[in-house]
Amino acid sequence: MILRENAKACFEVEIDTQVVPGEQACDWTMRYQSVIGFGEVEFIEELEGKREAMKMIMQQYTNEEKPIEDSALSNVTLFKLNVNTMSGKKSGY
């Protein structure tokens, strides 16, 4: 996996996107709000660390707490992005 060789990574999120038509084809643009962050990946190797990370991920989808077997965790690669810098941008608002 390339992240094991070079742990530098980034993320980008956009919200409120909307196409803004122009008079001519090259006049079209987008309205948006975005955030971008840069940092380094840290792999989560310990089973308990993986279990806690999976619980956080699952909480995004359900309030039920399901058991997570060690055998399932050993087949999963998890990492977190430690963000060093972050900036936001908006256009058309």
Structure confidence by residue, pLDDT tens digits, 18-72: 999 999 989 999 999 999 999 999 999 999 999 999 999 999 999 998 899 999 9
Whether the per-residue pLDDT at 1 is higher than 80: the answer is no
Provide the CATH number for the domain around residue 80. 2.30.110.10
Q: Torsions phi, psi of 83, nearest 5? A: -80, 125
pTM, entire model: 0.74
Domain, as residue range, for 35 = 2-91
Contacts of 50 by beta carbon, 8 Å cutoff, 6+ apart: 44, 73, 76, 78
Whether the per-residue pLDDT at 93 is higher than 90: the answer is no
Structure tokens at 84: 């060093």
User: Given this model, what pLDDT does residue 60 score?
Assistant: 93
Distances (CA, A) of 50 to 4, 69, 88: 17, 11, 30
User: Given this model, what pLDDT does residue 88 score?
Assistant: 98
User: Given this model, what pLDDT does residue 25 score?
Assistant: 87
Q: How many domains does the chain have?
A: 1
